[in-house]
Structures are given as structure tokens and as C-alpha cells.
Amino acid sequence: MIDASDTAGHPVDLSRFMDAQQNIYDNVLAELRNGRKRTHWMWYIFPQIDGLGHSSTSKHYAIKSIEEARQYLNNPILGKRLLECAEAVFSIEGRSVSDIFGYPDNLKLKSSMTLFAYVAASCSVFDRVLDKYFNGERDALTLRLLEKLKEK
């Protein structure tokens, strides 16, 4: 499923996310609604910009461009799921981000929310998650990587 190409002409293929989410999405949402991530799905539910992770899994699911992030967010299935999961995280009361995700997934959430806040309209759920759990602080390395991509 090649969706289009990014501004550098690289094809944007979101099928890796669709395939990964296919059989586990309902469980992911249930975990979030119960206030605690228990299984391993962070990479393809809350993806990060390329250049942060070092494992083969994190590299496989890394968002390669600003355009790919936009297409992910605007995809009728992936975007809806991302928004739904971010809203579920935002709705959790009485728990810290570390209580919900543990380490290092709490940092991955911050990176993902920074990425999608960057490409979304202002006052998005991504901004609200960053405000609630990270005192509004964005992930500095994600922002630096996004600025580098913007310069290309």
C-alpha cells in the first residue's frame, strides 16, 4: 500500500503500521482505557521520527519524513486510531506517564506526541497530552530531527 511520496520523492508506505495493528488494536485501546500499557506495541501505535531508536523494530516503524507523519495522521484508519489512543491516554486520571507506560515507553510517548503535535493543527490532543504529562515540554531531539528534515 504505497500512499504517495514524500517531498524528497521517497515513497510513503504505511502498510507496515496497518499490518502490525490489524490483530491487536482492540487490546491496545483496552490497555490504555485501563490505565496501563501491558504488552509490546509502542512502535506502531505511537511512532517516532526516524533517528531516535536503535533497535531493528524501532527503525522499521520509524516515521521517515514530515510528509509520512502527515499521511499517517490523515490516514482514515491510522489517524483515527492514533487520535483515539491519544485521547485515551489524555483521559487517564490519577496516574503519571511512568505509571501508565513505564520506562522507556514514557519517553517514546513524548517523542510521538511531539512529532504529531508538529504536523497537526494547534491545540490538538497531542498538545494536550504533552501539557498534561510533560508540563508542555516537547522532545528536544525530535524537534531537532524535524527541523533537519524541514531544511531538506
pLDDT of 9 over the 60 cut: no
The torsion angles phi and psi of 55, rounded to 5 degrees, stand at: -75, 160
* Per-residue pLDDT tens over the stretch 36-59: 999 999 999 999 999 998 899 999
Task: Label residue 150 by pLDDT band (50, 70, 90).
Answer: confident
Domain count, the chain: 1
Find the helix or strand (DSSP H, E) in which 121 lies: none
The CA distance from 118 to 16, in Å, is 22
Give the model's pLDDT for residue 123.
80
Residue with cell 510521538: 112
Percent of residues, the chain, with pLDDT higher than 90: 87
Q: Are 12 and 65 in contact (CB under 8 A)?
A: yes
pTM, two decimal places: 0.91
Interacting residues of 78 by C-beta distance below 8 A, sequence separation 6+: 14, 17, 18, 21, 72
Task: Return d(Cα 72, Cα 74) in angstroms, integer.
Answer: 6
How is residue 22 written as a grid cell? 490489524
Q: Does 117 have pLDDT greater than 90?
A: yes
CATH number at 128 reads: 1.25.40.380
Q: For residue 8, what pLDDT is reported? A: 52
Q: Which three cell numbers stand for residue 86?
A: 491519544
What is the average pLDDT value for the chain, to the nearest integer?
A: 93
Q: Which domain holds residue 89?
A: 2-151
